Structure 1
Amino acid sequence: MTLTDAAGRGRPRDAEIDGCVLDAALAELAAKGYAAFSLTAVADAAGTTRPAVYRRWKGKVALVVDAVARLAEVDPPQVTGRPFDDLVAELEDFRHCITEAAALPLAGIMLGDDVEPALRRAYTERVVAPRRTRLRAVLAAAVAAGDLAGDADLEVAGSFLTGSWYSFAVAGAAVPADWALRVARLVWRACGGDPPAA
């Protein structure tokens, strides 16, 4: 369910305009970040008007959630059958999505008490849950293949993966260029595995 669907606006919508607005929103996020994100600039870049954007999305946060979800849903990593490589690929894709859309502040907003439940639910269902499901599947495949210990705590291990990115961000520290590989190797060892040689 997109947030445009949840808004319940009765007017039939032009899918082409929706796509142009979402693409423009991603470009605006990448160029200016969330704090300077402008619905007017998005409307101009999409060749439409600000009222037309508001007919589709309730506001800035709703549009950004849909835009980030659109980015996350495009070309997710393909499963290769090599769990460690698949894990690194998922983390690289996470890095791409969160930096390309400058989406880090959105996660903080979703933790606030004043976020509409439908908005938080859409963010969780479209942005968070698919990634968590794929990461858990990769780790489970590694257990099934005997690469990780059978009693590995996959629930907690999965939270370490992307959680380490947020930890760097909160600390104001630069994320290492080889972050995905290093996190994958650390979690692999924590789950009783022996990661491939670098």
Structure 2
Amino acid sequence: MMQSAGRPRNADLDVALIKAAEELILDRGFSAVSVEAVSAKAGTTRPAFYRRFDGIPDLILALLLERFATDLDAVLDFGSLPADLEAIQREQVALFEDPLVKSSFTGFLDSLHTNDQLRQIFLEKFLGPRRAAVAAIIRRAQSRGEIPDFPDVEWICDLITGPMVMRILLPGLLPLDDALVMNTVASALHALGYQSSEGR
């Protein structure tokens, strides 16, 4: 998300472009989103678009960050590791089931293969806070004595998110249902060496 030097940035136009992209995705699908279509819907021009965004993937990332930003300070404590992980997974289901995400995620991820800078921003600002929230939950479980020290937090993040991403990227697989939530939580608990209070 790069701004050219010179003319001051019009924040209202930024909002209009992001809103135009969202409406196009929801109304006509990700394939309908082009610089021309977004600019026309926002009532502006291609040069004005490119003063604000490098291209459509850059705009979609701005939209995702605006709509689905995660605040690490808002990580809730439900009193136990199983309850905390279940809450994380239900939040992930809500994210991936959102019509905007369902319509744009596959196309957006594809664009990351050829754009190193955009991929880095996506990892740091979109995925990073979510993975940090999982790390915070695991540290809290360690402090409670629910699990032993477990340094490979990245693996747990992959373990709980990977099956959800697989199901939204491959049409025809089972939905993001309660069984998936509970099975991914159970897998994470097993990998973390969790034992219930009755088992300790």
1:149 offset after TM fit, Å?
3.2
Q: Pick closer, same or farther for the CA change 1:120–1:151 going to 2, 3 Å.
A: closer
- Matched length: 189
Cα distance change of structure 1 residues 88 and 23 upon mapping to structure 2, 3 Å threshold: farther
Aligned to 1:184: 185
CA positional deviation for 1:167: 2.4
TM, length-normalised to structure 2: 0.76
Match in the other structure for 1:90:
88
Provide Cα deviations, 1:47-92, integer angstroms capped at 9, x if missing partner.
4344322221121111111111222216779322224433333333
**Pair 1:57 & 2:53 matched:** yes
**Which residue in the other structure is 2:146 paired with?**
147
SS in 2 for 1:156: helix
Give the TM-score normalised by structure 1: 0.77
**Shift in Å at residue 124 of structure 1?**
1.8
Deviation, structure 1 residue 13: 1.0
Amino acid paired to 1:118: Q
The 1-side partners of 2:186 and 2:94 are apart by 19
Tell me how far apart the structure 1 counterparts of residues 18 and 65 of structure 2 sit (CA, whole Å): 10
Sequence identity percentage:
24
Pair 1:79 & 2:75 matched:
yes
Structure having the higher Rg? 2
* 1:8-47 alignment runs, 5 A limit: 8-47=4-43
String of CA shifts for 1:151-194, please: whole Å, max 9, x gaps.
47422112111111222245431333223343223212331225
The alignment yields a C-alpha RMSD, in angstroms, of 2.9
After superposition, residues 102-181 of structure 1 pair within 5 angstroms as 102-110=104-112, 112=113, 114-115=114-115, 117-151=116-150, 153-172=152-171, 173-178=173-178, 179-181=180-182
What secondary structure sits across from 2:125 in the alignment? Answer: helix
Cα contact 1:189–1:195 (8 A) shared by 2:
no
**Structure 2 unaligned regions, length at least 5:** none
Unaligned 5+ segments in structure 1 are none
Matched residue SS, 1:35? helix
Shift of 1:9: 4.1
For residues 192 and 29 of structure 2, what CA distance do their matches in structure 1 show? Answer: 36
Q: Which moved more, 1:55-64 or 1:24-33?
A: 24-33
Letter in 2 for 1:156: W
